C-alpha cells in the first residue's frame, strides 16, 4: 500500500509546513512573553507616574511591534495550509480541529488586534488606565490564541473526546471538555507559553546587558533587567515543572516519541537518563540496531529515565524495539499486529461503504462494529497503522520499522532543549543575585553571557518544536492518520514552487526584520518611542 503514496509530494508538503511553522515560531514566543513584560512595565508607570517607566515601556513596545507584524504574517499561512496542503487531514479531523481554530479567531485574534491598536496609537487619545487595560488585553489575547492552537496540537498528539463516524468517514467530537482539558493539551499549552516567557525575558535581559556593556541608558537597562529577570526566573521554574509533566505525558501517550527522545532501543527497568550523548555511525539495519552501538560519548544519570517517565525508579521504559517488535512480558503489542488490526479496520470501512445501498444487512452489521466499544478499542484505534500493510509478510515486518521517527534529530533536539533550559534558569538566578549585590554592571562575563544567550533561547525554542513535531512522526494524528495520507492531491511541482516562494519571502522578511530591530535597539530608548 505504501507504493501508492507519492512520497515526494508528502516530503515537499512537510517541508513547506515545517518551514512555515518554524519561521512563525521564531516570532511568536517573543510576542507571548514580551506582551506581559511590557504590561508589567506600564503598570509600574501608571502606578508611579514616573515618566522613565513610560520611556522604558515604549522602547520595548516598539520592538514588540516589529516582531508582532511578522508573526501575524506567518500565522495566516499556517491556518490556510491545513486546507491547501493537508486537505485529507482537514476532512478526517476537521470536526474537532476546526473548532479551536475558529474559537482562536473569535476569542483571541479580535481581542489582540483591537487592543493592540490602542496600545500603539492610543497614547493621549484614551485615559492612562484604559491604555494599560488595552496592553494587558493584548497580552491576554496573544496568549489565548496560543491556548487554542495548542489545544488543537495537543489533540493531534493524543486524540481524545471523539468517535469515528463511518457514514461521513471522519472523526467527530463527542466531548468538548475532553479535548480542551486533555492533559496533553494542558501541559503543551503551559510548557509552550512559558518557553515564550523565558525567551522574551532573555531577549530583554540580553539587550539590556548590551546597553550596560556600552554604558548607555544604565538606569533604563537595570530596570528592564529587574523586571525581565524576575519574570524569567519564575517562568523558567514553571518551564521545568511543565516540561517534566509534558515528558511524563509523552511517555504515557506517545511511548515511541519518548524512546526516540532518549534513543532507547532496548527497554529496561531502572532506565538511566542520558545527560549528554553523542552519536557515532548510524547502522542501516533497523532490526539489529542497539542503544550501545549508537553512541560515541554518553553520560548517564542512573534510574532517572524510569523515574522521569513513571515516577518509579524500577519502572519499565519500553525501547524502540519493544514497541516495534512487541514485548509479551510487559504486554506491549507489536507494530505488526497493530498494522494487521488497523488494516482490518480500514477494510471494514471499505466494506461498509461498498455495502451501502447494496446489502442492507451487511451494511447494518458493519455499522454496528463502529459502535462496538471493544472493536473500536481493539481494532479502530490502530486505523492509521493499516496504511503500512503489505501482503508480503517480510515487507510488512520491514514496514513496521517505518513507524519510527528520526532518532538522532529527536534525541539531539530534546537534549539541546533541556540543557539550554537549565542554563537559562541559572542565568536568571546569577543576574538577579548580581543586581541585588549591585555588581552586575561590572561583571562583563555575565553581561556578555546574557547577550549571547539570546540566540541560544531561539535555538532551544526551535528544538522544542522539533521534539514535539518530528518526534511524533510518522503520525499527523497519533495512531489514526499517518502524515503521508493527510496530504492534498496536488502536483509536487506546485508545492515546490510555493515552498521556494515562501523561502525567498521569509528570508527577505527576516533580513529586513533583523536590520530594523538592530537599528531600533542601537537608537536606544530615547529615540525608540517614534520616528
- Distance from C-alpha of 468 to C-alpha of 150, rounded to nearest angstrom: 11
Are the C-beta atoms of 421 and 236 separated by less than 8 Å?
A: yes
C-alpha 108, offset from chain centre:
19
Pick between residue 172 and residue 441 the one whose CB is nearest to other proteins.
Answer: 172
Binding mask 328-357 for other proteins (x = CB under 8 A): ---------------------x---x--x-
CB of 28 to other proteins, least distance (A): 14
Q: Which x/- pattern, by CB under 8 A, does the window 165-204 give for other proteins?
A: x--xxx-xxx-x----------------------------
The reply on whether position 7 binds other proteins by CB under 8 A is no
Looking at the Cβ atoms of 18 and 429, the one nearer to other proteins is 18
By CB under 8 A, what part of segment 128-167 binds other proteins? 130, 134, 165
Give the distance between the most distant pair of CA atoms in the chain: 84
Torsion sign (Cα): 106, 108, 113, 119: positive
Query: What's the CA gap between 267 and 329, in Å, rounded?
Result: 11
Residue 479 Rama label (left phi>0; alpha psi -120 to 50; beta): left
76 binds other proteins (CB under 8 A): yes
Binding of other proteins by 414 (CB under 8 A): no
Interface with other proteins in residues 242-281 (CB under 8 A)? none
Q: Which of 165, 152, 144 is nearest to 86 (CA)?
A: 152
Check whether the bond before 398 is cis (ω within 30° of 0). Answer: no
Residues 6+ apart with CB under 8 A from 27: 67, 68, 70, 71, 74
Stretch near other proteins under the rule CB under 8 A, chosen from 64-72, 257-265, 294-302, 319-327: 64-72
In the complex, what is the shortest distance from the CB of residue 142 to other proteins, in angstroms, rounded to a whole number? 13
Q: Rounded to the nearest whole angstrom, what is the least distance from the CB of residue 109 to other proteins in the complex? A: 4
Instruction: Kindly give the pairing relationship between strand 268-269 and strand 316-317.
Output: antiparallel
Stretch that binds other proteins, among 42-50, 93-101, 318-326, 329-337 (CB under 8 A): 93-101
**Residues 229, 205: contact at Cβ < 8 Å?**
yes
One of 1, 2, 21, 72 touching other proteins (CB under 8 A): 72
Nearer to other proteins, 275 or 497 (CB): 497
With contacts defined by CB under 8 A, name the span among 199-207, 266-274, 434-442, 508-516 that binds other proteins.
Answer: 508-516
Q: Where are the alpha helices (DSSP H) in 254-277?
A: 255-262
- Asked if residue 98 binds other proteins (CB under 8 A), the reply is yes
Question: Given the C-alpha cell 541560544, which residue does it identify?
Answer: 456
Q: Which of 4, 125, 331, 437 binds other proteins (CB under 8 A)?
A: 125
Amino acid at each position: 500500500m505504501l507504493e501508492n503514496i507519492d512520497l515526494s509530494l508528502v516530503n515537499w508538503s512537510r517541508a513547506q509546513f515545517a518551514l512555515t511553522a518554524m519561521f512563525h515560531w521564531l516570532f511568536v514566543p517573543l510576542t507571548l512573553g514580551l506582551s506581559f513584560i511590557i504590561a508589567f512595565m506600564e503598570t509600574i508607570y501608571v502606578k508611579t507616574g514616573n515618566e522613565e517607566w513610560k520611556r522604558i515601556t515604549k522602547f520595548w513596545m516598539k520592538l514588540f511591534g516589529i516582531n508582532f507584524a511578522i508573526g501575524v504574517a506567518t500565522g495566516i499561512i499556517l491556518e490556510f495550509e491545513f486546507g491547501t496542503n493537508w486537505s485529507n487531514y482537514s476532512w478526517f479531523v476537521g470536526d474537532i480541529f476546526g473548532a479551536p481554530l475558529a474559537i482562536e479567531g473569535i476569542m483571541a485574534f479580535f481581542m489582540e488586534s483591537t487592543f493592540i491598536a490602542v496600545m500603539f496609537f492610543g497614547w493621549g487619545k484614551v485615559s492612562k488606565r484604559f491604555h494599560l487595560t488595552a496592553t494587558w488585553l493584548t497580552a491576554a489575547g496573544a496568549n489565548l490564541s496560543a491556548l487554542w492552537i495548542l489545544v488543537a496540537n495537543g489533540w493531534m498528539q493524543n486524540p481524545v473526546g471523539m468517535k469515528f463516524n463511518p457514514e461521513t468517514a471522519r472523526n467527530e467530537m463527542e466531548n468538548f471538555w475532553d479535548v480542551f482539558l486533555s492533559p496533553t493539551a494542558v501541559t503543551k499549552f503551559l510548557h509552550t507559553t512559558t518557553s515564550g516567557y523565558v525567551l522574551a525575558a532573555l531577549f530583554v535581559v540580553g539587550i539590556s546587558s548590551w546597553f550596560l556593556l556600552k554604558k548607555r541608558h544604565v538606569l533604563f537597562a537595570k530596570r528592564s533587567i529587574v523586571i525581565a529577570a524576575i519574570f524569567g526566573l519564575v517562568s523558567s521554574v514553571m518551564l521545568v515543572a511543565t516540561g517534566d509533566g509534558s515528558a511524563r505525558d509523552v511517555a504515557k501517550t506517545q511511548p515511541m516519541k519518548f524512546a526516540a527522545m532518549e534513543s532507547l532501543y532496548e527497554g529496561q527497568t531502572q532506565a538511566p537518563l542520558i545527560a549528554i550523548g553523542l552519536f557515532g555511525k548510524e547502522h542501516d539495519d533497523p532490526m539489529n540496531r542497539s542503544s550501545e552501538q549508537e553512541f560515541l560519548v554518553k553520560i548517564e544519570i542512573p534510574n532517572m529515565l524510569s523515574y522521569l517517565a513513571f515516577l518509579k525508579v524500577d519502572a519499565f521504559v519500553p525501547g524502540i524495539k519493544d514497541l516495534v517488535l512487541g514485548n509479551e512480558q510487559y504486554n506491549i503489542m507489536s507494530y505488526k499486529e497493530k498494522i494487521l488490526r488497523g488494516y482490518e479496520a480500514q477494510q471494514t470501512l471499505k466494506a461498509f461503504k461498498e455495502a451501502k445501498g447494496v446489502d442492507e444487512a451487511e451494511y447494518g452489521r458493519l455499522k454496528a462494529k463502529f459502535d462496538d466499544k471493544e472493536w473500536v478499542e481493539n481494532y479502530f484505534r490502530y486505523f492509521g497503522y493499516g496504511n503500512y500493510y503489505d501482503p508480503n509478510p517480510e515487507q510488512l515486518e520491514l514496514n513496521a520499522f517505518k513507524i519510527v521517527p528520526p532518532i538522532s534529530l529527536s534525541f539531539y533536539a530534546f537534549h539541546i532543549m533541556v540543557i539550554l533550559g537549565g542554563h537559562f534558569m541559572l542565568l536568571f538566578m546569577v543576574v538577579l543575585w548580581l543586581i541585588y549585590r549591585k555588581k552586575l554592571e561590572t561583571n562583563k562575563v555575565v553581561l556578555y553571557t546574557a547577550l549571547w544567550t539570546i540566540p541560544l533561547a531561539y535555538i532551544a525554542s526551535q528544538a522544542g518544536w522539533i521534539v514535539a513535531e518530528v518526534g511524533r512522526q510518522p503520525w499527523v494524528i497519533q495512531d489514526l492518520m499517518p502524515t503521508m495520507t493527510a496530504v492534498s492531491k496536488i502536483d509536487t511541482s506546485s508545492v515546490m514552487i510555493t515552498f521556494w516562494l515562501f523561502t525567498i519571502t521569509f528570508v527577505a522578511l527576516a533580513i529586513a526584520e533583523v536590520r530594523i530591530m538592530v537599528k531600533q535597539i542601537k537608537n536606544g530608548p530615547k529615540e525608540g518611542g517614534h520616528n
